[in-house]
Amino acid sequence: MKKHTFNKGDLVRYISDNEVCKVVAIDNRRRAPIGVRTARFGVCFETPDRLELKRSITSNKMEDVIATAVDMIKGEVWENNDCL
């Protein structure tokens, strides 16, 4: 496991529960990935305190939801190649 430079569209795996999600934005303040989980929950965010904010998102509202999700994932995640 190592730190990784994230880009939009990357797939990352959460260490907490091994779930894969896609990076939809980068938090420039912390260089942390902001991800959307699609596997089990439809679409929802994971925040550092483990609360999930479930949202139903249409493509034209994606930016609005990302803007409310600045405080996102912290810590290490798997490198892209490890999550396929």
Q: What does the pLDDT read at residue 42?
A: 36
Q: What does the pLDDT read at residue 21?
A: 66
The tens-digit pLDDT sequence of the chain (84 residues) is: 344 566 677 666 655 555 666 776 666 665 556 665 543 333 344 444 333 333 333 334 444 444 333 333 433 344 444 343
2-5's contacts with Cβ under 8 Å and 24+ in sequence apart are 2/76, 2/79, 3/76, 4/77, 4/79, 4/80, 5/31
Domain residue limits, the chain: 11-83
- pTM for the whole thing? 0.35
Q: What does the pLDDT read at residue 8?
A: 72
What is the side-by-side order of every strand in the sheet holding 20-27? 11-13, 20-27, 32-36
Q: What does the pLDDT read at residue 16?
A: 57
